[in-house]
Amino acid sequence: MEQNNIRTLQAKVCISGELKILTGMHIGGGGNTSAIGAVDSPIIRDSLTKCPVIPGSSIKGKMRTLLAKLYDKRGIGVLGRPDEDDDVVKRLFGSSEPIQPARLQFFDLSMQKESKESIEKMDTDLYLTEVKFENTINRLTAQANPRQIERVPAGAVFSFKLIYNLENMAEYEEDIKGLQQAILLLEDDYIGGHGSRGYGRIEINNLQVDIPIKRDDVSIGKEKIAAILKGGK
Protein backbone atom coordinates (compact mmCIF):
# COMPACT_ATOMS: atom_id res chain seq x y z
CA MET A 1 0.00 0.00 0.00
CA GLU A 2 1.31 3.43 -0.88
CA GLN A 3 1.85 5.81 1.99
CA ASN A 4 0.03 8.51 -0.01
CA ASN A 5 -3.24 6.63 0.56
CA ILE A 6 -2.98 6.66 4.36
CA ARG A 7 -4.66 9.75 5.75
CA THR A 8 -4.17 11.13 9.23
CA LEU A 9 -6.87 12.37 11.59
CA GLN A 10 -6.41 15.72 13.30
CA ALA A 11 -9.79 16.00 15.02
CA LYS A 12 -13.41 14.86 15.08
CA VAL A 13 -15.87 17.74 14.71
CA CYS A 14 -19.49 17.09 15.73
CA ILE A 15 -22.12 19.37 14.18
CA SER A 16 -25.68 19.04 15.46
CA GLY A 17 -28.93 20.94 15.27
CA GLU A 18 -32.60 20.70 14.36
CA LEU A 19 -34.20 19.99 11.00
CA LYS A 20 -37.73 21.40 10.82
CA ILE A 21 -40.24 20.28 8.21
CA LEU A 22 -41.87 23.34 6.61
CA THR A 23 -44.12 21.49 4.14
CA GLY A 24 -45.31 17.89 4.19
CA MET A 25 -42.39 15.54 3.50
CA HIS A 26 -42.44 12.16 1.78
CA ILE A 27 -39.41 9.87 1.78
CA GLY A 28 -40.74 6.61 0.43
CA GLY A 29 -40.31 3.27 2.09
CA GLY A 30 -41.34 1.19 -0.91
CA GLY A 31 -44.74 0.50 -2.38
CA ASN A 32 -44.84 -3.15 -1.34
CA THR A 33 -45.60 -2.42 2.31
CA SER A 34 -49.15 -3.15 3.41
CA ALA A 35 -49.68 -0.10 5.58
CA ILE A 36 -52.78 0.53 7.64
CA GLY A 37 -55.27 2.38 5.50
CA ALA A 38 -53.82 0.97 2.26
CA VAL A 39 -51.69 4.03 1.53
CA ASP A 40 -50.32 3.83 -2.01
CA SER A 41 -47.00 5.43 -1.12
CA PRO A 42 -45.88 4.93 2.52
CA ILE A 43 -42.93 6.64 4.18
CA ILE A 44 -39.84 5.16 5.82
CA ARG A 45 -40.28 4.37 9.52
CA ASP A 46 -38.04 3.07 12.28
CA SER A 47 -38.68 -0.67 12.48
CA LEU A 48 -38.77 -0.63 16.30
CA THR A 49 -40.48 2.64 17.26
CA LYS A 50 -42.57 2.99 14.06
CA CYS A 51 -41.69 6.69 14.08
CA PRO A 52 -40.85 8.45 10.80
CA VAL A 53 -37.12 8.75 10.09
CA ILE A 54 -35.05 10.68 7.58
CA PRO A 55 -32.20 8.50 6.30
CA GLY A 56 -28.80 10.14 6.52
CA SER A 57 -28.21 8.87 2.99
CA SER A 58 -31.06 11.07 1.73
CA ILE A 59 -29.47 14.18 3.25
CA LYS A 60 -25.98 13.25 2.06
CA GLY A 61 -27.07 12.46 -1.48
CA LYS A 62 -29.08 15.65 -1.90
CA MET A 63 -26.35 17.84 -0.40
CA ARG A 64 -23.70 16.31 -2.65
CA THR A 65 -25.72 16.78 -5.82
CA LEU A 66 -26.58 20.39 -5.03
CA LEU A 67 -23.02 21.29 -4.04
CA ALA A 68 -21.58 19.54 -7.10
CA LYS A 69 -23.87 21.65 -9.30
CA LEU A 70 -22.80 24.85 -7.55
CA TYR A 71 -19.08 24.04 -7.68
CA ASP A 72 -19.04 22.66 -11.23
CA LYS A 73 -16.48 24.53 -13.33
CA ARG A 74 -16.74 22.64 -16.61
CA GLY A 75 -19.45 24.92 -17.99
CA ILE A 76 -21.29 22.28 -20.02
CA GLY A 77 -24.54 22.49 -18.08
CA VAL A 78 -24.70 18.88 -16.86
CA LEU A 79 -22.92 16.97 -14.12
CA GLY A 80 -20.45 14.25 -14.97
CA ARG A 81 -19.48 11.25 -12.89
CA PRO A 82 -19.09 11.80 -9.13
CA ASP A 83 -15.33 11.27 -9.56
CA GLU A 84 -15.31 14.40 -11.74
CA ASP A 85 -16.74 16.59 -8.97
CA ASP A 86 -14.84 19.53 -7.51
CA ASP A 87 -12.09 18.59 -5.03
CA VAL A 88 -14.04 20.05 -2.08
CA VAL A 89 -17.09 17.95 -2.97
CA LYS A 90 -14.98 14.79 -3.21
CA ARG A 91 -13.25 15.50 0.09
CA LEU A 92 -16.56 16.01 1.88
CA PHE A 93 -18.61 13.24 0.27
CA GLY A 94 -16.03 10.76 -0.99
CA SER A 95 -14.75 9.42 -4.29
CA SER A 96 -14.11 5.99 -5.77
CA GLU A 97 -11.47 6.94 -8.36
CA PRO A 98 -9.13 7.51 -6.69
CA ILE A 99 -10.51 5.96 -3.51
CA GLN A 100 -11.15 8.80 -1.08
CA PRO A 101 -13.35 8.15 1.98
CA ALA A 102 -15.82 10.91 2.80
CA ARG A 103 -14.84 13.34 5.53
CA LEU A 104 -18.51 13.83 6.42
CA GLN A 105 -20.36 11.10 8.31
CA PHE A 106 -24.15 11.48 8.38
CA PHE A 107 -26.59 10.09 10.93
CA ASP A 108 -30.20 9.04 10.38
CA LEU A 109 -32.55 11.73 11.70
CA SER A 110 -35.11 10.81 14.37
CA MET A 111 -38.14 12.86 15.32
CA GLN A 112 -37.58 14.82 18.54
CA LYS A 113 -39.60 13.79 21.59
CA GLU A 114 -41.41 17.13 21.93
CA SER A 115 -42.41 17.06 18.27
CA LYS A 116 -43.60 13.46 18.53
CA GLU A 117 -45.75 14.25 21.55
CA SER A 118 -47.24 17.30 19.83
CA ILE A 119 -48.20 15.41 16.68
CA GLU A 120 -49.65 12.53 18.73
CA LYS A 121 -52.20 15.01 20.07
CA MET A 122 -53.27 15.95 16.55
CA ASP A 123 -55.93 14.17 14.54
CA THR A 124 -53.60 12.69 11.93
CA ASP A 125 -54.54 10.02 9.42
CA LEU A 126 -51.82 7.56 10.47
CA TYR A 127 -49.36 7.38 13.36
CA LEU A 128 -47.43 10.69 13.30
CA THR A 129 -48.24 11.25 9.62
CA GLU A 130 -50.89 12.63 7.30
CA VAL A 131 -52.25 11.26 4.04
CA LYS A 132 -52.36 13.57 1.03
CA PHE A 133 -54.89 12.65 -1.64
CA GLU A 134 -53.79 13.56 -5.15
CA ASN A 135 -55.12 13.07 -8.65
CA THR A 136 -53.23 12.77 -11.89
CA ILE A 137 -55.35 13.24 -15.00
CA ASN A 138 -54.45 11.92 -18.44
CA ARG A 139 -54.57 14.98 -20.68
CA LEU A 140 -55.66 12.90 -23.68
CA THR A 141 -58.33 10.68 -22.12
CA ALA A 142 -59.22 12.84 -19.09
CA GLN A 143 -59.03 9.66 -17.01
CA ALA A 144 -58.28 10.30 -13.34
CA ASN A 145 -55.71 8.32 -11.38
CA PRO A 146 -56.20 9.03 -7.67
CA ARG A 147 -53.46 8.14 -5.22
CA GLN A 148 -52.64 8.50 -1.54
CA ILE A 149 -49.26 9.78 -0.39
CA GLU A 150 -48.17 9.52 3.23
CA ARG A 151 -46.31 12.59 4.54
CA VAL A 152 -44.65 13.80 7.70
CA PRO A 153 -46.69 16.92 8.58
CA ALA A 154 -45.31 20.45 8.52
CA GLY A 155 -43.90 21.52 11.87
CA ALA A 156 -42.26 18.20 12.73
CA VAL A 157 -38.72 18.59 14.07
CA PHE A 158 -35.91 16.04 13.67
CA SER A 159 -32.50 15.86 15.34
CA PHE A 160 -29.75 16.66 12.83
CA LYS A 161 -26.19 15.41 13.36
CA LEU A 162 -23.04 14.80 11.36
CA ILE A 163 -19.34 14.26 12.01
CA TYR A 164 -16.57 16.00 10.07
CA ASN A 165 -13.21 14.24 10.07
CA LEU A 166 -10.61 17.01 10.12
CA GLU A 167 -7.67 15.52 8.25
CA ASN A 168 -5.82 18.53 6.89
CA MET A 169 -5.53 21.84 8.74
CA ALA A 170 -4.87 23.66 5.47
CA GLU A 171 -8.20 22.48 4.03
CA TYR A 172 -10.68 22.51 6.90
CA GLU A 173 -11.90 26.10 6.42
CA GLU A 174 -12.63 25.43 2.75
CA ASP A 175 -14.36 22.17 3.71
CA ILE A 176 -16.58 23.80 6.35
CA LYS A 177 -17.44 26.60 3.91
CA GLY A 178 -18.50 23.92 1.44
CA LEU A 179 -20.69 22.31 4.11
CA GLN A 180 -22.23 25.70 4.92
CA GLN A 181 -23.04 26.18 1.23
CA ALA A 182 -24.57 22.69 1.05
CA ILE A 183 -26.85 23.44 4.02
CA LEU A 184 -28.03 26.70 2.42
CA LEU A 185 -28.68 24.92 -0.87
CA LEU A 186 -30.68 22.21 0.90
CA GLU A 187 -32.84 24.82 2.61
CA ASP A 188 -33.60 26.38 -0.78
CA ASP A 189 -34.45 23.01 -2.31
CA TYR A 190 -36.28 20.00 -0.85
CA ILE A 191 -35.77 16.49 0.48
CA GLY A 192 -37.76 13.43 -0.46
CA GLY A 193 -40.17 13.10 -3.33
CA HIS A 194 -42.60 15.42 -5.11
CA GLY A 195 -40.57 18.54 -4.40
CA SER A 196 -41.79 20.28 -7.54
CA ARG A 197 -45.29 20.16 -6.02
CA GLY A 198 -44.17 21.78 -2.79
CA TYR A 199 -43.27 18.77 -0.68
CA GLY A 200 -40.19 18.48 1.51
CA ARG A 201 -39.22 22.08 2.27
CA ILE A 202 -37.05 22.26 5.37
CA GLU A 203 -34.89 24.52 7.50
CA ILE A 204 -31.93 23.66 9.72
CA ASN A 205 -31.70 25.60 12.97
CA ASN A 206 -29.68 25.89 16.18
CA LEU A 207 -26.44 24.46 14.82
CA GLN A 208 -23.98 23.56 17.57
CA VAL A 209 -20.32 22.60 17.17
CA ASP A 210 -18.33 20.33 19.45
CA ILE A 211 -14.84 18.85 19.11
CA PRO A 212 -14.97 15.71 21.29
CA ILE A 213 -11.48 14.58 20.35
CA LYS A 214 -8.40 16.08 18.72
CA ARG A 215 -4.64 15.65 18.67
CA ASP A 216 -2.73 17.41 21.42
CA ASP A 217 -0.70 19.38 18.90
CA VAL A 218 -3.77 20.65 16.99
CA SER A 219 -4.96 24.16 17.79
CA ILE A 220 -8.53 24.66 16.63
CA GLY A 221 -11.55 26.20 18.32
CA LYS A 222 -15.17 25.26 17.78
CA GLU A 223 -16.04 28.98 17.69
CA LYS A 224 -14.16 29.36 14.38
CA ILE A 225 -16.05 26.49 12.80
CA ALA A 226 -19.38 27.76 14.14
CA ALA A 227 -18.67 31.19 12.66
CA ILE A 228 -18.01 29.69 9.21
CA LEU A 229 -21.24 27.69 9.39
CA LYS A 230 -23.09 30.92 10.13
CA GLY A 231 -21.61 32.56 7.06
CA GLY A 232 -18.57 34.23 8.61
CA LYS A 233 -14.88 33.57 8.13
In angstroms, the CA 119 to CA 16 distance is 23
Q: pLDDT band at residue 2, thresholds of 50, 70 and 90?
A: very low
Distance CA 37, CA 186 (A): 32
- Burial (0-12, 13-18, 19+ Cβ within 10 Å), 157: buried
Question: Which of 182, 122, 179, 178 is CA-nearest to residue 152?
Answer: 122
pTM equals 0.88
Confidence of residue 5 (pLDDT cuts 50, 70, 90): low
Which of 10, 104, 92 is CA-nearest to residue 56? 104
Q: What is the pLDDT of residue 38?
A: 60
Assess whether pLDDT exceeds 80 at residue 76.
no
Taking CA atoms, 137 is separated from 28, 40, 79, 131, in Å, by 22, 17, 33, 19
Kindly list the domain boundaries of the chain, sorted by start residue. Answer: 3-29+44-128+152-229
Q: pLDDT digits over 86-99, tens only?
A: 999 999 999 988 88
pLDDT band at 45 (very low <50, low <70, confident <90, very high): very high
Range among 27-31, 88-92, 99-103 with highest mean pLDDT value: 88-92
Model pLDDT for residues 163-219, shown as the tens digit of each residue: 999 999 999 999 999 999 999 999 999 999 999 999 999 999 999 999 999 999 999
Q: Spell out the residues 6+ positions from residue 134 whose beta carbon is closer than 8 angstroms to its own.
A: 146, 147, 148, 149
